[in-house]
Structure formats: C-alpha cells, structure tokens
Amino acid sequence: MKNPMISALVAVSFCYLMTSCAGLRNEQLKIQLEKSNCNQLSIYSYTAQDIPTPIEHLKIDSDLKKNFSRKSLNIANAIGALHLLKKYADLKKDYAEHPSTEKRLELLECTQKINQRINIASLEISAVASEMDCEEERADQIASYLKDKEDYIETKLTVGGLVIGASGALASGFLVNKGNANDYLGIGTGIAGAVAGVLILTNKTKVEFYHKRNPLGDIWHAGETSTIFPPAVWYYLNYEDSSDCLRGSLRNQIKQKWMDLGEISGIKAERKRKSLDLYFGAGGKYTAEQLSKRADMLDQIESIVNLMKQDLKEFALAFETIDTPVR
C-alpha cells in the first residue's frame, strides 16, 4: 500500500511543478524582430573626402578668430560653412569700403547660405537623435516584455516549490510508521524542490532581435565613413581636439564608457566575442538584460549627438551677432 501512497503524493507534488515548467516552455517569446521602422531615410552614402578636414590643419582667418570661439569655428567646419564665413567676412569688409547694391545682395545671399547650412545641420542632428531614441525604446519595450514573462514564470516556480515542500511535510506525518516510505518521500520532494530552484536561477527568456542597421556597430568599429551618421555628425563624433589629447574623440569616449562602466566589462573571455558580435553585429538571441544594456548604449549615443546642438546654437548666435543689417 505504501508504494501507491508514495506514488500518489509524489505525483501530486510534481504536478504543479510540471505545470509551471510547461508554462515556461509555452510562454517563450517566439516573435522574431528582423526589421526596424526607426529609420525612414535612405542610407547615407559618402566618401572619406566628404568628411571635413580637421580644423587644426586649416588656416583660419584672423578676423574669424576674433569673432568666433574655437568651438564655433569647429562646428562651422563640420557643417561645411567655414569657407562661407570667410567669404562673408571679406564681402562685409569690401561693402563697408565700397558700398553698392550688388555687394549688398551678395552679402544677403551669403548670409542665407550660412543660415541654410545651420538649419540643415540641425535637422540632421535631430534625425539621428530621433533614430537613436526610437531604437532605444524598441529595445526597452522588448526587454520589459521579456522581464514580465520571466517574473511570471519565476512566481509559478516559487509557488510550485512551496507546494512540493508543504506536500512532502504533510505526507511525512502520515508515513512516519511506514518503513522506508518516509525516506523515499523526503528524497523525492528534495529533488523536486532542487529542480524548482535550478529552474528559477536559469529562468532567462530569449528573443530573436535583429538590427541590420546598427549604430552601435559604427561607433565600435569606427570606419572612415558611416551609413547611419551624416558627414557633419560623423566628423563631430570622431574629431580629436589636439589640446585635449587625454580624452580623445567623443566616439572613443563613448566606446571607453561601454568597456569600463558595465555594458561590455565583466564579461568572461570565452563569452566576450559572442557578446561583441551580438551588440555590434546584425543581432541574434537577446535576454532582457542584454536588451536593456543595448538601450543604455543607444541612449549614450543620443545624448552625445544632442550635444552637437549646443555647439551649433553657440555658432548661430555668434553669427547673428556679427551679421548686422547693412544699409
């Protein structure tokens, strides 16, 4: 009689656990996100010759240095407006000495071209930042969804473990005088509880998450050009100030943060290559934690790109100050 009793008790004890495990299998996220709607633009296509020459290698007019800070001149160089500034300064000086309607129109035309460069650069910066923000939200949403699934499964496994423990304790009271039955039951419930604990620890739901257009990869690999960042933004990210050689370019600073502050650091050597391929390649199987890290890295790029707007604003205000109406 003891064998049927033991079998029944163990079956009841494992029943809830097996239901939880089935839920774990059935609740796996099956959606494969292969495409992103975050980019509505065509791919940027330009050569290394389209990237502005670093400002240190250019001869800057003394009048421009008097009216603009080095930061403003560098952003003007980034957006391709430095030669227009020089032309504007020459036209304004010529007009002051020999005023004419023709020269006045030339000045106004040059002013319009400079403002147009500022506006286009502002739109490009906003477009890049919005794509980073969209990709960040995309990763965050999937990470939150996976985390909810993991929490749900963990709750079921925890309750299952409690049911097993309670069932075993209750059954032990009835089997005290049943020979080895109590020992067998203790072993069975102990194994079942251990299985539940292991499943809780290894409860990591994964999803196929792809990103053929990957801004993280451009930052990490640092090619001469980028299909994601336009020339002005790519110049800004890769520019190295010779007066601040310790910090390096903004792109290198971002990469260093990824390595030092947790996104890439702490990964064992044998897993590091897989993680680098996952984050900076075309994608693959992500856990919720990995998607959250991806979202953090995209947020850092977005913040740095938005800083370019501050330099652009400083340049625009400086130009507005010297661009006094001509009569």
pLDDT tens-digit readout, 248-274 = 899 999 998 888 866 676 566 667 788
Is the confidence at residue 321, as pLDDT, over 90? no
Q: Which residue has the higher pLDDT, 293 or 41?
A: 293
Mean pLDDT for the chain overall: 78
pLDDT band at residue 24 using 50, 70 and 90 as cut-offs: very low
Is the confidence at residue 83, as pLDDT, over 50? yes
pLDDT band at residue 210 using 50, 70 and 90 as cut-offs: confident
pLDDT (mean) for 188-207: 57
What's the distance, Cα to Cα, between the start and end of the chain in Å? Answer: 112
pLDDT band at residue 123 using 50, 70 and 90 as cut-offs: very high
pLDDT score, position 112: 95
pLDDT score, position 154: 63
The pTM of this model reads 0.76
pLDDT (mean) for 17-44: 54
CA dist 158 and 166 (Å) reads 12
207 φ, ψ (degrees, to nearest 5): -140, 145
CA dist 47 and 57 (Å) reads 19
209 φ, ψ (degrees, to nearest 5): -130, 115
pLDDT score, position 187: 57
pLDDT digits (tens, 9 = 90+) for 226-246: 999 999 999 999 999 877 766
pLDDT band at residue 17 using 50, 70 and 90 as cut-offs: very low
User: 207: which strand partners?
Assistant: 286
pLDDT digits (tens, 9 = 90+) for 92-102: 989 888 899 99
DSSP state letters, 92-121: HHHHHHS--HHHHHHHHHHHHHHHHHHHHH
Residue linked to tokens 């709750």: 155
pLDDT band at residue 149 using 50, 70 and 90 as cut-offs: confident
Q: Which residue has the higher pLDDT, 85 or 200?
A: 85
